[in-house]
Amino acid sequence: MPICHLNRKRAHTDSMDTDLSLLRLLQFVSPGLPIGMYSYSQGLERAVDDRWVNSADSAREWIGGVLQHNLVRIDVPVFLRLYQAWQHQDPVVVTQWSKTLIAYRETSELRAEDKQTGQALAKLLIKLNVPEAHTWQRHPAATLATLFALAAVRWGIAPRQAAIGYLWGWLENQVLCAVKLVPLGQVAGQQLLQSLAEQIPSLVDAATLTADDQIGGSAFALALASSRHEAQYSRLFRS
């Protein structure tokens, strides 16, 4: 077979692999993923109840603030290390970073959310033929990032794209919560999603430069809202 035909065939195969990885990523950032993310607002419900968030502008400030001061400084750097640990098939390091991520959660609600969504994703991955997830379906240190990183590695999703997808999934869920709670119209929700999503690629790039001893951040209002939400009398969300 001529070299040009071999190159064309190889390029076609590479393109199909990339397309499949993209489709897998879209599957795992879908709001329809059956892990119960729709049940959690991460303190936003209390922030709305206390009138800290009462408009599209204040929702943008709240969600954008948590994105920049919490997820980009903690979740994404840890996620990238979990990805690398899964690549190296090192369960000890996976557990270490998973426990580290849980330690950064400042309220029992946020810790419970991470554990419950992580274990739910583990159960789903078992059904999707990812046997490494079996240990994590009841693992006390399970987090969403832990199992999301596992899925990304096993399905050939590049780390940067996986991290972008991880943030997108979080952002879309927060905006959907704001649409229900503030409330916002559907168009306003899409405008909010568009404006905040524009920041994600550069924020992920910055997070990739974070050294181990630089991981850490705090969104005090998030911790306060989440702790107050635990005792909120009437609520729609579990966190």
Q: Which domain holds residue 130?
A: 40-229
Domain count, the chain: 1
Is residue 20, in this structure, part of any structural domain at all?
A: no
Residues 6+ apart with CB under 8 A from 103: none
DSSP 8-state code for residue 35: T
Q: Does position 3 have pLDDT exceeding 90, yes or no?
A: no
Nearest partner of 229 among 49, 103, 60, 52, judged by Cα: 49
The reply to whether the predicted model has a pTM over 0.75 is yes
Is residue 236, in this structure, part of any structural domain at all?
A: no
Contact 82, 149 (CB under 8 A): yes
181-223: per-residue pLDDT in tens? 999 999 999 999 999 999 999 999 999 999 999 999 888 999 9
Chain-centroid distance, C-alpha 38: 13
Distance CA 172, CA 160 (A): 18
Q: Is the dihedral of CA 213, 214, 215, 220 positive or negative?
A: positive
Is residue 22, in this structure, part of any structural domain at all?
A: no
Is residue 33, in this structure, part of any structural domain at all?
A: no
Residue 80: which CATH number?
1.10.4190.10
Nearest partner of 91 among 47, 144, 37, 149, judged by Cα: 149
Is residue 110, in this structure, part of any structural domain at all?
A: yes
Is residue 21, in this structure, part of any structural domain at all?
A: no
Query: Which pLDDT belongs to residue 9?
Result: 46
The percent of residues in the chain predicted with pLDDT above 90, rounded, is 85
37 Ramachandran zone, left/alpha/beta (phi>0; psi -120 to 50): alpha
Is residue 74, in this structure, part of any structural domain at all?
A: yes
Q: What is the Cα gyration radius of the chain?
A: 19
62-98: per-residue pLDDT in tens? 999 999 999 999 999 999 999 999 999 999 999 999 9
Query: Other CB atoms closer than 10 Å to residue 26's CB: what's the count?
Result: 11
